[in-house]
Chain A
């Protein structure tokens, strides 16, 4: 069974940093691209970032480019999102998600999701 267990959310001041983690199990982690998607409470879904299975290719939404860094440790089956220079508009529930069929982080849907962690950016 595929499992994605997230950790690392919380309250942070504007301009601060936070690191999210997503521990994967139940599948060959390095065979699949992984993603971060966020959702402002009561609102829709916004793609944040993607990383290829080999951690070579990384992609970001314009809204977080230059501030967030996605990475993965395939030896530990863990995905990360390091968030710097956080803003109030980054406040959301953050989900990690698994690619539906490919390692290339391109043109795919998400077939498994983590439970989500809340990030609140406030003074």
Chain B
């Protein structure tokens, strides 16, 4: 199975500042056929299911604010929130869907400083 490792485990950022979360996969998730990375990001708030933010490492899901962006390729990926809003407090997970079983990172808890 592909192991997904996120860093840091927790992060505190001031409102209006940038937040950056990293995700590393134990093997490449780049699908050479169409040059797409099979990597998604989710946001989970307490008591709620995860919500899809990004897929293909950088494509925003419908309705996701443009302050959320994703980058990276093959084994190293980054989720960036350009200016932190209060409603962004949550746990963020990356997911690889390159192979079955799909696997998730352990999560990064984002708080306000």
Residues of A near any B CB (own CB < 8 A): 44-47, 50, 59, 61, 95, 100, 106-116
Contact = CB atoms under 8 A, between A and B. Distances in A.
A116 B46 CA distance: 12
A107 B36 CA distance: 11
Nearest to A45: B104
Contacts of A61: 101
Contact of B55 (A46, A100, A106): A100
B49 A109 contact: no
Interface residues of B, number: 23
29 contacts: A44-B104, A45-B50, A45-B93, A45-B95, A45-B104, A47-B101, A47-B103, A50-B100, A59-B100, A59-B101, A61-B101, A95-B49, A95-B50, A100-B40, A100-B52, A100-B55, A106-B100, A107-B31, A108-B97, A109-B55, A109-B95, A110-B52, A110-B95, A111-B52, A113-B50, A113-B51, A114-B49, A115-B49, A116-B49
B107 to A, nearest CB: 5
Nearest to B100: A59
Contacts of A113: 49-51
Of A44, A100, A106, A113, chain B has the most CB atoms within 10 Å of the CB of: A44
Given A59-B101, A61-B101, A110-B50, 7 more contacts: A44-B105, A100-B55, A108-B102, A110-B40, A111-B55, A113-B49, A113-B50
Contacts of A45: 42, 50, 93, 95, 104, 107
B40 A109 contact: yes
CB-CB nearest 7 A-B residue pairs: A113-B49, A109-B40, A45-B104, A109-B55, A47-B102, A111-B52, A44-B106
Contacts of B42: 45
B12 interface: no
Contacts of B15: none
Contact of B98 (A47, A100, A107): A107
B101 A44 contact: no
A114 B40 CA distance: 18
A61 B98 CA distance: 15
Contacts of B107: 44-45
